[in-house]
């Protein structure tokens, strides 16, 4: 364990005091360090193994009803499709390939309905020109430019349109990302770009959280009572992640503080009962996102650029410089622990290049996480996509 100078000085103070009062003074002075300096306290959550299970992947969701994982896979045509597979078997199926009922461009950001009978996802509008897909990554799933919300049966036999964003072309340049169901299946949240903004540093635009009632009426899935949440001092970006286990609050990320860049997002909880907002991470310049509660609600897995000194050449091309790892903390934000070390040559999971760890999803027993990673090839391009299974002790 590496102990920095501040820690040594405060430790000496406590030893010299060597009384209950001295110890309590040490704890009081050093409280923030003990709670937040995770490099010095990274043993609360421990990893048993990390295994690459798929040579593709993007955002992921693990159904606790049927034990199937849904994700997105880049096809030979250059577009993403939704794929489902059994993490403990050989079953694998593309659910959206060559389906004429939905646009055959970028399709992704899938999430299970808790019944295991439906999958919600985003799909790019059919009339978006191909040249736009080839000249920008803004239309891929997870960025969601000109995407709409769809839902399908778990086997991909039926499809329905749920919600449409702005038409192409549009001055609003709407985007839709990361739809997520509540545990009772009655609510759906997603994040949406609603219009451009005037920040000269980047072109992320103005975003909001959308929340809607979900129902099945005469066999047809529908949304109703759609409301909009904008909770920050600024509303440049939101990313929706999950509902708490009792569906009383949601967890999301965003750069909510004035002057905070989208590359410096934090994790927040918002109460659906009384409208209170709680900040879970507090790292103005680090990127914290993709937060998911453990099945019992006691822990949160998320990804962070914490500890990496990143200089962004272009905030609109953040992926060219971003570096992240998977972390786990207690649900109150304490005991932050780095779980993966894909960027560290001293660890067996090291990929050999700059790695971005992205979305993750817990197994039902809370002992495993399926994690999406992207890393550089030998020429420095982010072309390698994998799904890794992380087993905890």
In the chain the domains, ranked by start, together with CATH numbers, are: 1-36 (no CATH), 44-392 (2.120.10.30)
Q: DSSP for 294-360, please give it.
A: -TTSSEEEEEE-TT-----S-GGGGGGT---EEEEEETTS-S-EE---TT-TTSTT--SS-EEEEEE
- Distance (Å, whole) CA 222 – CA 326: 35
d(CA 204, CA 91): 38
pLDDT score recorded for residue 379: 87
Measured CA to CA, the distance from residue 346 to residue 156 in angstroms comes to: 43
Residues of the chain falling short of pLDDT 50: 1-3, 5-11, 13-41
pLDDT at 41: 47
DSSP 89-112: SS-EEESSTT-TTS-SS-EEEEEE
The pLDDT value given to residue 34: 42
pLDDT for res 18: 46
Q: For the chain, what's the residue count?
A: 393
Residue 151 has a pLDDT of: 98
What is the pLDDT, as a whole number, of residue 344? Answer: 98
What does the block give as tokens for 162? 């749920």
* pLDDT for 198: 86
Q: pTM of the predicted model, to two decimals?
A: 0.89
């Amino acid at each position: 364990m590496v102990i920095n100078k501040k820690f040594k000085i405060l430790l000496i103070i406590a030893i010299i005091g060597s009384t209950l009062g001295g110890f309590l003074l040490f704890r009081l002075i050093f409280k923030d360090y003990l709670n937040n300096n995770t490099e010095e306290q990274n043993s609360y959550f421990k990893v048993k193994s990390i295994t690459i299970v798929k040579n593709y992947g993007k955002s992921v969701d693990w159904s606790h009803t049927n034990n199937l994982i849904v994700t997105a896979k880049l096809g030979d045509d250059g577009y993403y499709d939704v794929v489902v597979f059994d993490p403990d078997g050989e079953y694998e199926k593309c659910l959206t390939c060559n389906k004429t009922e939905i646009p055959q461009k970028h399709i992704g950001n899938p999430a299970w309905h808790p019944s295991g009978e439906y999958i919600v996802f985003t799909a790019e509008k059919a009339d978006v020109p191909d040249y736009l897909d080839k000249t920008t990554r803004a239309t891929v799933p997870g960025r969601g430019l000109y995407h709409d919300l769809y839902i399908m049966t778990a086997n991909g036999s039926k499809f329905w349109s749920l919600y449409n964003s702005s038409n192409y072309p549009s001055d609003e340049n709407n985007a839709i990302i990361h739809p997520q169901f509540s545990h009772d299946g009655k609510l759906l949240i997603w994040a949406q770009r609603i219009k451009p903004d005037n920040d000269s540093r980047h072109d992320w635009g103005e975003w909001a959280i959308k929340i809607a009632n979900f129902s099945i009426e005469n066999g047809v899935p529908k949304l109703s009572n759609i409301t909009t949440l904008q909770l920050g001092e600024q509303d440049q970006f939101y990313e929706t992640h999950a509902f708490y286990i009792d569906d009383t609050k949601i967890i999301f990320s965003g750069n909510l503080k004035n002057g905070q860049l989208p590359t410096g997002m934090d994790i927040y909880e918002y109460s659906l009962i009384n409208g209170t907002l709680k900040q879970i991470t507090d790292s103005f310049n680090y990127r914290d996102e993709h937060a998911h509660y453990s099945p019992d609600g006691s822990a949160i897995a998320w990804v962070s650029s914490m500890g990496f000194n990143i200089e962004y050449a272009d905030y609109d091309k953040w992926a060219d410089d971003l570096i992240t790892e998977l972390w786990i903390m207690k649900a109150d934000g304490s005991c932050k622990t780095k779980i993966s070390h894909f960027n560290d040559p001293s660890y067996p999971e090291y990929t050999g290049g700059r790695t971005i760890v992205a979305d993750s999803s817990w197994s039902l027993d809370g002992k495993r996480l399926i994690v999406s990673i992207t890393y550089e090839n030998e020429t420095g391009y982010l072309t390698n996509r994998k799904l890794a299974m992380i087993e905890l002790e």
